[in-house]
């Protein structure tokens, strides 16, 4: 099994970097990544220094997939995410849109949380279940170089809970070799990622990358054993919700034989959403697979 160690830290999903790893479709690999804070908070006394490193969410990659061409998609199945340092770090120094109601005198709030025995020790009295996910995962677009702050049709800073072990993330391919990047692992995260910082951790992700020829995805998709979901990002969030449901309906139509208007009716009653970082307007619209046979 090939392993990709942490090397140069990239803060863009760029087609201009040479691949650090080449794989065949169907190959399982292990990828090491730094945390979203670029490793600056290792103890409770550390502070995020944006002068030394102004960017967030460093990526490992790019990973070239043999035979990938524009119009294809990568099917990335996540098997395991494990912390390499046995801890996660978080901070609440910037209340952003909450300032209107909470004020601006928020303390730095940096603290490190040990991870052991399937639990995150947020404090001496509060533990959180270890529920890891990938915050940033995407392919290189053929135009422009999006940073690791937004999300888009290429993937990017999705911060969706469902990019988790056991699930498959489908990403559009825009350039030869696909050029897959990932980073920004979270030990856990709440819906909306309120402070724009999850429980950030360095770690290793075991994943299998398959290639789907000429599937021509408009936006990323995620499939779990129980659900399918379409992901869209961008403000205002109500538009992303509508577009994500539309993409889900089109998926039900093309892959499961549903009439789009019957799917529209069904999702009105059984559809669910998952919300990424609220400041970006990222939404996954989803439906349980048990309904898909009922067309």
Residue 123 domain-assigned (yes or no): no
Of 154, 184, 212, the position where a domain reaches its end is 212
**pTM to 2 decimal places:** 0.96
Same domain as 71, residue 25: yes
Same domain as 273, residue 149: no
pLDDT 10s digits, 49-72: 888 888 999 999 999 999 999 999
Domain of residue 258: give its range. Answer: 226-294
Average pLDDT, the chain: 95
Same domain as 284, residue 152: no
Q: What is the CATH number of the domain that holds 261?
A: 3.10.28.20
Q: How many domains does the chain have?
A: 2
Of 187, 212, 237, the position where a domain reaches its end is 212
Of 185, 212, 239, the position where a domain reaches its end is 212
pLDDT(285) > 90: yes
Same domain as 260, residue 202: no
Q: Which of 181, 130, 137 is nearest to 160 (CA)?
A: 137
Please list the residues that pair with 231 across neighbouring strands: 284
Longest dimension (CA), the chain: 57
pLDDT at 28: 98
Residue 113 domain-assigned (yes or no): no
pLDDT(287) > 90: yes
Same domain as 185, residue 50: yes
Same domain as 63, residue 14: yes
- What DSSP string runs through 281-295? T-EEEEEEGGGGGG-
pLDDT 10s digits, 68-111: 999 999 999 999 999 999 999 998 877 888 889 999 888 888 89
Q: Under 8 Å CB-to-CB from 165, ≥6 apart: which residues? A: 78, 79, 80, 81, 132
pLDDT at 292: 96
pLDDT 10s digits, 191-248: 999 988 999 999 999 999 999 999 999 999 999 999 999 999 999 999 999 999 999 9
Same domain as 152, residue 279: no
Same domain as 276, residue 152: no
Q: How far is CA 167 from CA 162, 170, 208, in A?
A: 7, 10, 11
Q: How far is CA 148 from CA 76, 173, 228, 257, 288, in A?
A: 19, 18, 25, 36, 30
What would the two tokens of residue 48 be?
Answer: 């995020």
Q: What percent of the chain has pLDDT over 90?
A: 87
Same domain as 246, residue 140: no
pLDDT 10s digits, 122-148: 999 999 999 999 999 999 999 999 999
- What DSSP string runs through 166-177? T-EEEEE--STT
Q: Which of 206, 201, 207 is nearest to 83 (CA)?
A: 201
């Amino acid at each position: 099994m090939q392993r990709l160690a942490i090397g140069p830290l990239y803060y863009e999903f760029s087609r201009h970097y040479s691949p650090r790893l080449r794989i065949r479709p169907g190959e399982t690999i292990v990828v090491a990544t730094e945390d979203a804070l670029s490793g600056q908070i290792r103890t409770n006394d550390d502070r995020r220094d944006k002068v030394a490193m102004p960017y967030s969410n460093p990526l490992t990659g790019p990973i070239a997939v043999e035979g990938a061409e524009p119009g294809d998609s990568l099917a990335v199945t996540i098997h395991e995410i494990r912390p390499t340092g046995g801890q996660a770090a978080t901070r609440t120094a910037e209340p952003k849109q909450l300032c209107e109601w909470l004020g601006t005198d928020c303390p730095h709030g940096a603290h490190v949380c040990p991870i052991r025995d399937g639990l995150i020790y947020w404090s001496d009295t509060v533990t959180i279940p270890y529920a890891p996910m990938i915050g940033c995962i995407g392919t290189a677009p053929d135009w422009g170089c999006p940073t690791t702050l937004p999300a888009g049709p290429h993937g990017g800073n999705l911060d969706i809970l469902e990019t988790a072990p056991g699930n498959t993330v489908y990403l559009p391919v825009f350039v030869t070799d696909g050029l897959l990047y990932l980073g920004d692992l979270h030990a856990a995260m709440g819906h909306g990622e309120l402070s724009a910082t999850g429980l950030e951790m360095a770690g290793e992700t075991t994943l299998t990358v398959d290639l789907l020829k000429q599937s021509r995805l408009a936006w990323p998709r995620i499939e779990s054993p129980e659900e399918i979901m379409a992901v869209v990002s961008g403000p205002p969030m109500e538009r992303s919700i509508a577009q994500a449901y539309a993409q889900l309906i089109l998926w039900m139509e093309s892959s499961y034989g549903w009439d789009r208007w019957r799917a529209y009716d069904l999702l009105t009653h059984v559809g669910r959403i998952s919300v990424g970082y609220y400041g970006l307007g990222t939404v996954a619209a989803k439906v349980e697979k048990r309904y898909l046979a009922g067309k």
